[in-house]
A and B are shown apart, each in its own frame.
Chain A
Amino acid sequence: MNRFALFPLALLSAVTPSAGETTVIRNATVLTVTKGTFQGSILIRDGKIVEAGEKVLVPDGARVIDAGGQFVMPGIIDCHSHIAADSINEGAVAVSSMVGIEDVINPDDPDIYRALAGGVTTANILHGSANPIGGKCQVMKMRWGKDAQGLIFEGAPPGIKFALGENVKRSGSPGNGFGASPGLRYPASRMGVEDVIRQALTEARAYQKEWRDYQAKLDRHEQAIPPRRDLRLEPLVEVLEGKRYVHAHCYRADEILMLLHVADDFGFKIRTLQHVLEGYKVAGEIAAHGTGASTFSDWWAYKAEAFDAIPYNAAIMVRKGVLVSLNSDSAELMRHLNTEAAKAMKYGGLNETEALSLVTINPAKQLGIENRVGSIEPGKDADLTIFDKHPLSNYAKVEKVFIDGDLYFDREKDLEERPGKDARKKALIDKEKVQEKKNRKKPEPTEDKKSEEPGGAQ
């Protein structure tokens, strides 16, 4: 592990007694996204960006990474992903707000590492789109190698998935992956979707009142036992109180407006519209509501409601004042979100910074974590991606990825380690073959009967 190579810290620790790692990335083209682009260096200490500028003093003992000819940008943020979880959809119920990704984080999912290799450092892992009100989301950092808790983006505001349209109404969709045909569940129409959401939020209001009444009784020193906890309604109360962000899967303009009206009626904001392929038709209304939009660059036509899409969607919404991000919704697309962003320059004429914002600071804002990540600024987490070429070029490859100042992906190291990994695997295969041979040489007299033995206990 030479990435944590020891260096003489004596002098440094005299200055900053509790100093941990200090790293300087220098000679790079630094794309800060919020503070312009320059040729210079970034100083990282204790996992945070301390300084970024054309001239940065290298402290004694600092690890120096020479990024000459390379490009550093903030770690990419994906506002919509389904990796790193052992389950995604809880589909038989129309409201599945009692379930959450946090309970099923899978830190062993190799897609985490692959996302890193595409420069992604943070992703919002959402419940699927099987229900009008889905499960709770989890914002994660791609800290490959850490356990489930280690992946959680600590302090990120909680979120929940809502979904509209075809996936949730499921009319005429027997065996579409959402269960066998008898599993057609209410709602069966777009009207029903609205009803389900209104009904659930109305129940949540009543539930909220139940607890307020209980609290009032306690305040009056009256005897009372607390109401039954309803894990399905608790997150919806948080939605009503603005404490939990709604990320709503949607396509069509009419249902987008429907959802914004519902939110207005219940007095909360939809944090982001996800996919939102017809967002360009109602961009003004989305902006007026203060809602973010997280869309695809040019992925559509995979179902009827996703046909009326254009590649200018992101740019039009940006120009109309919507906070826009581009997301992946796919473990594959997740690996090249930088080029997805670049498409918004060709279609819609965004400038470089605007394009990069779509996959950095904008999704950070949508997830409420912009004070921590999304740009290269002193005080922010040292979540950085180094590309060998300009990240908006489709020839660009990720060289290194840092999260909290730690190196989580290093292309060179990865290539170096491959033969060793192959050898370790081959050793295991060979070991097993030797064992098999040994077993075959001296067969157990009872071997043949074994399969007829009554099954064991469990």
Chain B
Amino acid sequence: MKNVIAMLLAAASLTYAQAPGPIALRGARVVTVSGPILEKGTVLLRNGLIEAVGENVNLPKDAWIIDAQGVTVYPGLIDALSTVGLPETPPQPTTPRTETPATPRFGAQDLPVPVEQGPEFRPFTTTWVRAADLLNPADRRIEETRSAGFSSVVAFPSTGIFAGEGAFLNLSGEKQGRMVVTSPAGQYVTLASHGFGTYPGSLMGVIAYIRQVSCDADHYKLELQSYATHPVGQKRPNYDRAVEGLLESPRLLLPADDAKQLDRMIRFAAELKRPAVLYGGHQAYKIADLVAKSGVPLLVNLKWPEKSKDADPDQEESFRTLELRDRAASSPAALEKAGARFAFYSGGTAAKDVRKALKRAVDAGLTEAAAVRALTLSAAEIYGVADRVGSIEPGKIANLVVVKGSLFDEKAQIRYVFVDGVKYEPVPEAPPSGDREGRAAPGGVQ
């Protein structure tokens, strides 16, 4: 019986989601981001796009008019680095070849074969894995994230050194193909070392490995070009999926949290001669000018460092640790002041706590305008989709968040989130466990 209800609810929400003719939000405060704020504006949506925005918009007769007085309309928020919409267990990267050989030698059980280092050796690398191919519209985090005001996330496979290609997703959560705004959005790179027993096992090993793969990609391109021009009488280049994946990624996402890492990765990106985006940025307050000067965009992690709940109260902490906790949230303000390009990602902050985290950045000096921009248009620009999303402009995708009051008032309620012109109402917070069927998320229909 319960299931039947769930199905009915799911079906209802589906029809509801598909139906809309033109929708008009009338009399709202409209934060367009790309232009001036309209104190009494109207936004007209049709066919999943923004048709018009302004103080005087002629509304078609068939428009469903939502009286939006007292609410603020923002572009839908974008989580610029996420795994929402991807399966919880990502594909395993190729394991390095230090495993026990098939035939034990010298009678020993566990003698390893030496690690290979040739051009075919690609440990912890799945450059070719595409987030867009892995989407799980039933991921319940889609609804949680959307309920917090996000219309989009940029989701990446996250395991390995070259983890794979991300996709810019709309959280419409119905059909995989409809969710993808652009793919590939970039290649997610980590500098995680994997222990002493494998190559690369150290930070410098990982950096050297990335550098080698990048060199190989350049060489591969030359080989392919040369072969394409004169295939006859030439040795055929080997197909290399690792390098293919790197070459088709429009940008590398490189981790950089503290000042020295930011400095290091800005230099590394310049050396690799590949477009890059940094993520982390908690100590950007220290070198915001350098970040600005480099022109490399930075995704700032909204999960501000906190004292561990289990910390020993008698354990003395270093000045650096204390200072970082005190000042991390001032990084966005410093980046704004320096004129750096930056956006935000939730980085493990529960979706519902994102605004709290954002408020800390505002309290530390970030202007509200810059905060909104970092969560919307800046993220779209960084991923090259600012012509489609990120601001409230005619012709753009109808991604909006409608807040009763201001986004920066923690208590202000999010009324609606529009994704591709479809209106979603935030669901009340998930109960701790069980009772899942009751939540007929649009994602549940798949």
Report the separation of the CA atoms of residues A425 and B318 in the bound assembly, to the nearest whole angstrom: 8
Q: Known contacts A106-B260, A179-B195, A456-B303; is A93 also within 8 Å of B117 by CB?
A: yes
In the complex, which of the residues A89, A94, A186, A231 contacts B196, with contact meaning CB atoms closer than 8 Å? A89
Q: Known contacts A89-B202, A104-B203, A184-B111; is A456 also within 8 Å of B350 by CB?
A: yes
Report the separation of the CA atoms of residues A92 and B195 in the bound assembly, to the nearest whole angstrom: 9
Contacts of B319 in A (CB 8 A): 421, 424-425, 428
Contacts of A429 in B (CB 8 A): 317, 322
**CB-based nearest A residue for B350:** A453
Let me know if A194 is at the binding interface, CB within 8 A.
no
**CB-based nearest B residue for A86:** B203
Q: Known contacts A449-B432, A458-B83; is A98 also within 8 Å of B348 by CB?
A: no
B 317-328 to A, binary, CB cutoff 8 A, 1 in contact else 0: 101101101100
B98, B144, B198, B208 — which one has the most chain A CB atoms within 10 A of its CB? B208
In the complex, which of the residues A98, A454, A458 contacts B81, with contact meaning CB atoms closer than 8 Å? A458
Report the separation of the CA atoms of residues A145 and B380 in the bound assembly, to the nearest whole angstrom: 37
Report the separation of the CA atoms of residues A182 and B101 in the bound assembly, to the nearest whole angstrom: 12
A 133-151 to B, binary, CB cutoff 8 A, 1 in contact else 0: 0010000000000011100
Let me know if B427 is at the binding interface, CB within 8 A.
no
Let me know if A232 is at the binding interface, CB within 8 A.
yes
Interface residues of B in 333-391 (CB under 8 A from A): 345-353
Contacts of A135 in B (CB 8 A): 204
In the complex, which of the residues B197, B198, B208, B345 contacts A99, with contact meaning CB atoms closer than 8 Å? B208
B96, B350, B429 — which one has the most chain A CB atoms within 10 A of its CB? B350
Q: Are B112 and A185 in contact (CB under 8 A)?
A: yes
Report the separation of the CA atoms of residues A450 and B352 in the bound assembly, to the nearest whole angstrom: 10
A148, A183, A457 — which one has the most chain B CB atoms within 10 A of its CB? A457
**CB-based nearest A residue for B221:** A225
- Name the interface size band of chain B: 35 or more
**CB-based nearest A residue for B153:** A457
Which B residues lie at the A interface, using CB under 8 A?
79, 81-84, 96, 98, 100, 110-112, 114-115, 117, 119, 140-141, 144, 153, 158, 193, 195-205, 207-209, 211-212, 215-216, 219, 222-223, 226, 258-260, 263-264, 267-268, 301, 303, 307, 317, 319-320, 322-323, 325-326, 345-353, 429, 432-433
Q: Known contacts A92-B199, A148-B260; is A428 also within 8 Å of B322 by CB?
A: yes
In the complex, which of the residues A87, A225, A425, A458 contacts B202, with contact meaning CB atoms closer than 8 Å? A87
A-B contacts, 27 listed (Cβ < 8 Å): A86-B203, A89-B196, A90-B201, A90-B204, A96-B205, A98-B208, A103-B203, A103-B204, A107-B260, A135-B204, A148-B264, A149-B267, A183-B112, A183-B196, A185-B98, A185-B112, A225-B223, A225-B226, A226-B222, A229-B215, A231-B208, A428-B319, A454-B350, A456-B347, A457-B83, A458-B83, A458-B348
Q: Are A432 and B350 in contact (CB under 8 A)?
A: no
Q: Are B260 and A92 in contact (CB under 8 A)?
A: no
Let me know if A38 is at the binding interface, CB within 8 A.
no
Q: Are B346 and A456 in contact (CB under 8 A)?
A: yes
**CB-based nearest A residue for B319:** A425
How many pairs of residues, A versus B, come closer than 8 Å at their CB atoms? Answer: 180
Report the separation of the CA atoms of residues A344 and B208 in the bound assembly, to the nearest whole angstrom: 40
Q: Are B197 and A183 in contact (CB under 8 A)?
A: yes
In the complex, which of the residues A103, A450, A452, A454 contacts B264, with contact meaning CB atoms closer than 8 Å? A103
A 91-112 to B, binary, CB cutoff 8 A, 1 in contact else 0: 1111110111101111110000
**CB-based nearest A residue for B207:** A103
Let me know if A304 is at the binding interface, CB within 8 A.
no
Report the separation of the CA atoms of residues A100 and B271 in the bound assembly, to the nearest whole angstrom: 15
Q: Are B197 and A179 in contact (CB under 8 A)?
A: yes
Q: Known contacts A183-B112, A228-B216; is A99 also within 8 Å of B348 by CB?
A: no
The count of residues in chain A whose C-beta lies closer than 8 Å to any C-beta of chain B is: 60
Let me know if A180 is at the binding interface, CB within 8 A.
yes
Contacts of B141 in A (CB 8 A): 454, 457
Q: Are B207 and A99 in contact (CB under 8 A)?
A: yes
B346 to chain A, nearest CB (A): 5
Contacts of B350 in A (CB 8 A): 450, 453-454, 456
Let me know if A181 is at the binding interface, CB within 8 A.
yes
Other 17 A-B pairs with CB < 8 A, given A91-B197, A226-B222, A425-B322: A85-B204, A87-B193, A87-B202, A87-B204, A89-B201, A93-B117, A96-B205, A108-B258, A127-B204, A147-B263, A232-B212, A446-B429, A454-B141, A456-B303, A456-B348, A456-B349, A457-B81
B292 to chain A, nearest CB (A): 16
Q: Are B204 and A99 in contact (CB under 8 A)?
A: yes
Contacts of B348 in A (CB 8 A): 455-458
Q: Known contacts A88-B202, A147-B263, A432-B325; is A457 also within 8 Å of B208 by CB?
A: no
Contacts of B200 in A (CB 8 A): 90, 99
Report the separation of the CA atoms of residues A89 and B204 in the bound assembly, to the nearest whole angstrom: 9
Let me know if A178 is at the binding interface, CB within 8 A.
yes
Q: Are B322 and A432 in contact (CB under 8 A)?
A: yes
Let me know if A441 is at the binding interface, CB within 8 A.
no
Q: Are B326 and A458 in contact (CB under 8 A)?
A: no
Contacts of B259 in A (CB 8 A): 108, 147
Report the separation of the CA atoms of residues A324 and B201 in the bound assembly, to the nearest whole angstrom: 34
In the complex, which of the residues B198, B317, B323 contacts A92, with contact meaning CB atoms closer than 8 Å? B198
Interface residues of A in 67-91 (CB under 8 A from B): 85-91
Contacts of B263 in A (CB 8 A): 147-149
B174 to chain A, nearest CB (A): 21
**CB-based nearest A residue for B220:** A228
Q: Are B345 and A458 in contact (CB under 8 A)?
A: yes
Contacts of B351 in A (CB 8 A): 456
**CB-based nearest B residue for A232:** B117
Q: Are B203 and A182 in contact (CB under 8 A)?
A: no
Report the separation of the CA atoms of residues A187 and B208 in the bound assembly, to the nearest whole angstrom: 23
Report the separation of the CA atoms of residues A312 and B343 in the bound assembly, to the nearest whole angstrom: 62
Q: Are B323 and A428 in contact (CB under 8 A)?
A: yes
Contacts of B346 in A (CB 8 A): 456-458
Contacts of B209 in A (CB 8 A): 98
Contacts of B205 in A (CB 8 A): 87, 90, 96, 98-99
**CB-based nearest A residue for B287:** A147
Let me know if A431 is at the binding interface, CB within 8 A.
yes
Q: Are B196 and A91 in contact (CB under 8 A)?
A: yes
Report the separation of the CA atoms of residues A91 and B96 in the bound assembly, to the nearest whole angstrom: 14
Report the separation of the CA atoms of residues A149 and B264 in the bound assembly, to the nearest whole angstrom: 9
Contacts of B301 in A (CB 8 A): 458
Q: Known contacts A90-B202, A231-B212, A232-B117; is A182 also within 8 Å of B82 by CB?
A: no
